[in-house]
Amino acid sequence: MVEKLNPQLSAVGEMAVPDVQIITSGGLRITAHSHILASASPVLESMIERPKKRRSSQRNIPIPGVPCDAVSVFIQFLYSSKCSEEQMEKYGIHLLALSHVYLVPQLKQRCTRELSRRLNTENVLDVLQLARLCDAPDLYLKCMKMLSCNFKAVEHTEGWKFLQNHDPRLELEILQFIDEAEMRIKRTRRNREEQKMYLQLSEAMDCLEHICTEGCTSVGPCDMDPSKNKGPCSKFSTCHGLQLLIKHFAACKKRVNGGCLRCKRMWQLFQLHSSICDKPEQCRVPLCRYCPKEAPSNVRAHV
């Protein structure tokens, strides 16, 4: 059995006498000071204050289940609140487990942050399982997002095969998260497309009123000479296309029988304008006062 003197003893003074031994699963004994451990961890404080079975002046606290060096780094952090990048890279998973078990939030936050930075397709499943056990929601969500974005690579790893055989509940949880993430992406894309369509319709309504009231380029009211505005319209991006549609609507012979799709679109724009126009008696948009005041239900399908 090996005994190791805590390197942080100098931080509490040379005269301080260690009164606690941390015993690891590998047989390593790490001497420490009870008041330092108790102030850093309420769990260790409870263990220290527990009545001793023997009258020995020194208490023994077992910390099994993790490598000896990880326990040593853990005790070092309790003394100094510091942990090197190399130590975190090597023992980050073990330190997260220890910080959760012994309620050391500062170390837990550090481990969560560092493990999030070091996630990859090979370790993401191990970290995910640990995040569930250690109640680390931020790390859990980061793992789930990585799985969602890199699932094709992860499902070929040995970790995924092991998970399928030994933890079907977590497998289902992951697949449900991925499915929900894909649904959110589809909903977001659909909402953006709808917003874009509504903006286009809104601009088309403004442009239609602009053409029918002010006149633009070669199209305008019958009592206004459109030849004065020969330059391209700078107010609306849809102005030129709408002018072409109006010209077609005025000259098309198929629209009488309802066989022209372009005329149907123009008619829908007239109907939509009529449904939102609040001054039909003064409005100069054609057919405004004669169109029904309800918005056409099929505008969305054709515009």
Domain boundaries, the chain: 1-118, 194-302
Q: What angle do CA 165, 95, 116 make, to 5 degrees?
A: 70
pLDDT value of position 12? 47
pLDDT value of position 74? 96
Question: Higher pLDDT residue, 246 or 103?
Answer: 103
Radius of gyration of the chain from Cα atoms?
Answer: 36
Map tokens 């030994």 to a residue: 166
- Would residue 285 be called left, alpha or beta, if left means φ above 0 and alpha means ψ between -120 and 50 degrees? beta
pLDDT band per the 50, 70, 90 thresholds, residue 8:
low
pLDDT value of position 5? 52
pLDDT band per the 50, 70, 90 thresholds, residue 159:
very high
Say how far apart CA 6 and CA 65 lie, in whole Å. Answer: 20
- List b or e across 275-294, with b for residues whose CB sees 16 or more CB atoms inside 10 angstroms: eebeeeeebbbbebeebeee
Map tokens 């959110």 to a residue: 184
Say how far apart CA 98 and CA 119 lie, in whole Å. Answer: 20
Q: What is the pLDDT of residues 92-113, one digit of tens each?
A: 999 999 999 999 999 999 999 9
Measured CA to CA in angstroms, residue 49 lies from 22, 37, 66, 71 at distances of: 15, 11, 24, 21
Q: Give the pair of three-digit tokens for residue 203.
A: 């601009």
- Would residue 229 be called left, alpha or beta, if left means φ above 0 and alpha means ψ between -120 and 50 degrees? beta
pLDDT value of position 56? 59
Say how far apart CA 2 and CA 68 lie, in whole Å. Answer: 11
pLDDT value of position 213? 81
- What 3-state class would DSSP assign to 277? coil
- Would residue 188 be called left, alpha or beta, if left means φ above 0 and alpha means ψ between -120 and 50 degrees? alpha
Q: What are phi and psi of 245, to 5 degrees?
A: -65, -40
Q: What is the pLDDT of residues 189-227, one digit of tens each?
A: 999 999 988 888 888 888 888 888 877 777 777 666 655
pLDDT value of position 4? 57
Overall fold of domain 194-302? CREB-binding Protein; Chain A (1.20.1020)
pLDDT value of position 153? 94
Say how far apart CA 295 and CA 198 lie, in whole Å. Answer: 13
pLDDT-above-70 percentage for the chain: 83
Q: What is the pLDDT of residues 37-87, one digit of tens each?
A: 999 999 999 998 887 666 555 788 999 999 999 999 999 999 999 999 999
Q: What are phi and psi of 225, to 5 degrees?
A: -85, 110
Say how far apart CA 212 and CA 201 lie, in whole Å. Answer: 16
pLDDT value of position 169? 93
Q: What is the DSSP letter of 235?
A: S
Contact yes or no for 95/88 (Cβ under 8 A): yes
Say how far apart CA 134 and CA 126 lie, in whole Å. Answer: 12
pLDDT value of position 227? 52
Q: What DSSP string describes 76-128?
A: HHHHHS---HHHHHHHHHHHHHHHHHTT-HHHHHHHHHHHHHT--TTTHHHHH
Amino acid at 130: L
Contact yes or no for 8/72 (Cβ under 8 A): no
For the cut 90, the answer to whether the pLDDT of residue 36 exceeds it is yes
Overall fold of domain 1-118? Potassium Channel Kv1.1; Chain A (3.30.710)
155: exposed, middle or buried (C-beta count within 10 Å: 0-12, 13-18, 19+)?
middle
